[in-house]
Structure 1
Amino acid sequence: MEMQKKKNSNPAYSTQKYINVAEIKENTLILKDGSLRAVIAVSSTNFALKSEDEQNALVAAYQGLLNSLDFPIQILIHSRVLDIEGYLGKLKGLAAGQTNELLRIQMTEYIEYVGRLVEFANIMSKNFYVVVPFSANPVRQTFGSRIKKLLNPVAQIAMNQEDFHRAKTKLDERVNHVMSELGGVGLRSLVLTTEELIELLYESYNLDSAAPLHAESLEGMEISQ
């Protein structure tokens, strides 16, 4: 039992050991093999509500996006439980102050309906991301270059920084291209910051402890009286 306890407390057995991310900086994921990743958050659109002509235009634009790429991308869909308690609380406050009896009854019935719906089904919020990669071609190291690293480690650190920024410049070019093509499909997009990348990874690998997403967008809706 004591050996098992020591084994579990060893930092080497943490989840981080199995994550293929070495570092996160300057809005970029650095993987253990030295390759880079940028994550773009993308808005969504309701394809089913579009007219046939609009659907055909979206399909053609999406096809053009894929045909314009000479590198792979990953499309990530992240689902989280949506906490609508704040939204319901706001509705209850509006209903209590409603002077029109008919509107007050309708709002109360709507609040009760949504409350019952939440009891029987988890309301999920889906976020969409596009992961853009870049991997620089490895440079073959000679015996002399290895000796130089040992004799001058400070210069090696500076060189690594130069290599990183050189690779990130190439990655940014890919990101800008993808975002431009997404705009042609009618989708808004933005690059996740370092803090947002950390939050995304934490929530992806700690589903039980991740806090539910609050319905801030719902709370900000204007409700006509």
Structure 2
Amino acid sequence: MELLHEKKKNKSDNSSQKYVDIKEIKNGVIVMKNGSLRTVLLVSSINFDLKSTDEQDAIISQYQNFLNSLDFPVQIVVSSRKFNINPYLEIIKEKEKVQKNELLRMQIAEYSNFIKRLTDSTKIMSKFFYIVVPFSPIESKKEGFFAKMMNTFNPNQQMAVRKEFLEAQISQLWQRARQVEAALSGAGLKMTPLGTQELIELFYNSYNPSLNVNTIIKEVESLELE
């Protein structure tokens, strides 16, 4: 949580945080300020144009079935980012240092310079696809049964009941996420939920695109998919 709760903050940081609706991120679940929950699924991509006509029709049909099966809203997000080549260049630099063959070391250095010049002159973008799955507790302007019941408990009991209530909501959120995953798997799409650190860095990069922060968000293929 270091990126969201830095010890030293200036006035602009505090004022901008007022416009961020996120209260906290814990165990891969986003808790909003209004009490609603979110989870974010990282989705693989497919090259639709390379599919045959029958395959394209099947994908469209599966997507239609997915939309028709939903009884809750979802948000589909496409994020384009400038590709950060620095970690790869660091790996090459380390290989150059340990290479004992002078000729190979020169070739590695030339290759590294070529990659750097290429990425400096060409804006290479990478795209990430996400599905945001929400869950909102039933809201009422009047004091409901849950609120009335809470007033009969002492503070420790209230804390235990709230924790149990939140866990029940989170369980329903993950149930929705599994429903989305199952519905889209027929279209050949793989997905995995982002963890806490990945969510923090996703939002940090979204609000600070010019900083080009090196994120730990992995490609879908490199993540464990069930």
The TM tier, using the shorter chain, reads 0.7 to 0.9
- RMSD of aligned residue pairs (Cα, Å): 3.7
What does residue 210 of structure 2 align with?
208
CA-to-aligned-CA distance 1:64-85 (integer Å, 9 cap, x gap): 1111111110001122211335
CA contact (8 A) 2:84 2:212 kept: no
What does residue 52 of structure 1 align with?
53
Partners of 1:143 and 1:26 in 2: CA distance: 29
Q: 1:188 to 1:158 in 2, by over 3 A?
A: same
Instruction: State the TM-score, normalized to the length of structure 1.
Output: 0.73
Q: Which of structures 1 and 2 has the bigger CA Rg?
A: 1
State the AA in 2 paired with 1:188: K
* Residue correspondence of structure 1 range 76-155 to structure 2 within 5 A: 76-84=77-85, 86=88, 97=104, 117-138=118-139, 140-141=142-143, 149=151, 152-155=154-157
Q: 1:142 to 1:190 in 2, by over 3 A?
A: closer
What does residue 195 of structure 2 align with?
193
In structure 1, stretches of 5+ residues that fail to align are 1-7, 98-103, 221-225
Measure how far apart 1:119 and its partner are: 3.4
Q: 1:87 to 1:55 in 2, by over 3 A?
A: farther
Instruction: State the TM-score, normalized to the length of structure 2.
Output: 0.73
Partners of 1:158 and 1:196 in 2: CA distance: 29
DSSP 3-state at the match of 1:18 = coil
* Residue correspondence of structure 1 range 13-92 to structure 2 within 5 A: 13-84=14-85, 86=88
Q: 1:89 to 1:192 in 2, by over 3 A?
A: closer
Partners of 2:54 and 2:20 in 1: CA distance: 44
Q: 1:186 to 1:143 in 2, by over 3 A?
A: closer
Partners of 2:52 and 2:165 in 1: CA distance: 48
CA contact (8 A) 1:125 1:213 kept: no
CA contact (8 A) 2:42 2:194 kept: yes
DSSP 3-state at the match of 1:83 = coil
Measure how far apart 1:212 and its partner are: 4.8
What does residue 223 of structure 1 align with?
none
CA contact (8 A) 2:201 2:215 kept: no
Measure how far apart 1:116 and its partner are: 5.8
Measure how far apart 1:118 and its partner are: 2.8
CA contact (8 A) 1:82 1:213 kept: no
CA contact (8 A) 1:22 1:32 kept: yes
Partners of 1:36 and 1:144 in 2: CA distance: 18
Measure how far apart 1:87 and its partner are: 6.4
State the AA in 2 paired with 1:19: V
Partners of 1:213 and 1:11 in 2: CA distance: 24
CA contact (8 A) 1:80 1:212 kept: no
What does residue 175 of structure 2 align with?
173
Q: 1:213 to 1:124 in 2, by over 3 A?
A: farther
Measure how far apart 1:170 and its partner are: 1.1
In structure 2, stretches of 5+ residues that fail to align are 1-8, 97-102
